[in-house]
Amino acid sequence: MKVQLTTTKTVFNYSKPYIIAELGSNHNGDMELAKKLMIEAKEAGADCVKFQSWSKDSIFSRQKYDDNYFIADDYRDRNDYTLEQIVDEYSISEEGLLDMKKFADSIGIDCSSTPFNKKEADFLIDKLESPFIKVASMDLNNYPFLEYLAKKNKPMIISTGLSELYEIDKAVKTIENTGNKEIVILHCVATYPPVDTDVNLNNIKTLMSTYPEYPIGFSDHTLGITIPLAAISLGSCLLEKHFTLDKNMEGWDHKVSATKEEMTAIVENSQRIVDALGSFRISATESDEKKTEFRRSIVITKDLKKGYVLQEDDLDYKRPGGGFSPGMIEFIVGRTLNKDLGYDHILKKEDLV
């Protein structure tokens, strides 16, 4: 992997975030389109591309197909095809995933997929050799499934959309009880897209304080790049963002997805943000030369003769530094001059008796 995916906070919360370009179903069932997405994600600087392994048999029940109610507003009240048909068309087969994994390896980008049942999870780990298991928000309270996934002994990335804190806590404990302590928790709002006031990025800090032993990231469904970059500035170790070639393409998630230009901006600015966040230790980074240039020295306000006893009114503070600093004024007042000094002279130790 290009970035070591580990749940140690020294790697995740204080270094460049691991960025996942979520392809989901944005390939629209077309593997050539999927390859184009992968190439552009790689060129944009993403660390990983991720698919979703659902099929029409693993994601919805028969009742859902009989109701024929589409998830996204763009797909409601349509009569050119059914929900079952579009789910089947937009799914990716095991053969397709293996092909995508080989292609990802050939261009040097990590590849994974989100499983939605045990069979898909087995394939993900045993055949696709995914470096991690991503749990979708809808499955955070699917505790039997979480337990099954956790026993795969792979790092678990869990999205928390749709969930209350007690549900998140139960999910974490379910994973921990298997002995798997490799967990990354993603703040997430499952609305596509959410209004800004529903994003609640402060939840990232809440999760950090609630689970200090685990890295915290952000699964983003907002429009544009502002919110994900703000999440990174709060310390998000991992960012997941839907990715598309064109926001106007036919499909479920294209409108809330990042384009190549947006993903590039996220990647480049995330590095700047991490570099700028720097250390928790407060210390001046400026050079001694810069400090001297910008700070002030004690200067004489008028011509004075040798033997004169300095008073506070005789002194002022001007740049550059290098002489007595303003903080030494109490040491200077009352001292006697050992030579004649002119107006604006920077006072030195050798000027005093």
For 94-115, the DSSP string reads: HHHHHHHHHHHHHHT-EEEEE-
State how far the Cα of 66 lies from the Cα of 63, in Å rounded to an integer. Answer: 5
Q: Tell me, what's the pLDDT at 266?
A: 98
| 3-state secondary structure (DSSP) of residue 56 | helix
Q: So where are the chain's domains?
A: 9-55+91-277, 288-351
Q: Distances in Å between the alpha carbon of 152 and those of 122, 149, 177?
A: 9, 5, 13
Q: Report the Cα 43 to chain-centroid distance in Å.
A: 19
Q: Are 31 and 23 in contact (CB under 8 A)?
A: no
What the block records as the tokens of 343 is: 């107006």
- How many residues would you count in the chain? 353
Instruction: Give the ranges where the chain is alpha helix by DSSP (H).
Output: 9-12, 31-44, 56-59, 62-67, 83-90, 94-107, 118-126, 143-150, 165-176, 196-199, 202-210, 226-233, 260-277, 288-294, 329-332
Question: Residue 248 — φ and ψ, nearest 5°?
Answer: -95, 10
CA-based radius of gyration for the chain: 30
Sheet harboring 133-135: ordered strands across?
110-114, 48-52, 18-24, 238-242, 216-220, 183-188, 156-159, 133-135
Sign of CA dihedral 58, 61, 64, 65: positive
CATH number of 288-351: 3.90.1210.10
> Cα angle at 142 between 11 and 148, to 5 degrees?
70
Q: Are 245 and 36 in contact (CB under 8 A)?
A: yes
Q: Are β-strands 216-220 and 183-188 bridged in parallel, bridged antiparallel, or unpaired?
A: parallel
Measured from the Cβ of residue 111, the count of other Cβ atoms closer than 10 Å reads: 22
Pick left, alpha or beta for residue 278 (phi over 0 → left; psi -120 to 50 → alpha; otherwise beta).
Answer: left
Residue 94: is it exposed, middle or buried by C-beta count within 10 angstroms (0-12/13-18/19+)?
Answer: middle
Q: Tell me, what's the pLDDT at 250?
A: 86
Measured from the Cβ of residue 113, the count of other Cβ atoms closer than 10 Å reads: 26
Q: Are 60 and 109 in contact (CB under 8 A)?
A: no
State how far the Cα of 192 lies from the Cα of 212, in Å rounded to an integer. Answer: 29
Per-residue pLDDT of the chain (353 residues; tens, 9 = 90+): 333 444 433 333 446 899 999 999 999 999 999 999 999 999 999 999 999 999 999 999 999 888 887 655 455 566 777 889 888 999 999 999 999 999 999 999 999 999 999 999 999 999 999 999 999 999 999 999 999 999 999 999 999 999 999 999 999 999 999 999 999 999 999 998 999 999 999 999 999 999 999 999 999 999 999 999 999 999 999 999 999 999 999 888 999 999 999 999 999 999 999 999 988 888 888 899 999 999 999 999 999 999 999 999 999 999 999 999 999 999 999 999 999 999 999 999 999 99
CATH H-level, domain 9-55+91-277: superfamily = Aldolase class I (3.20.20.70)
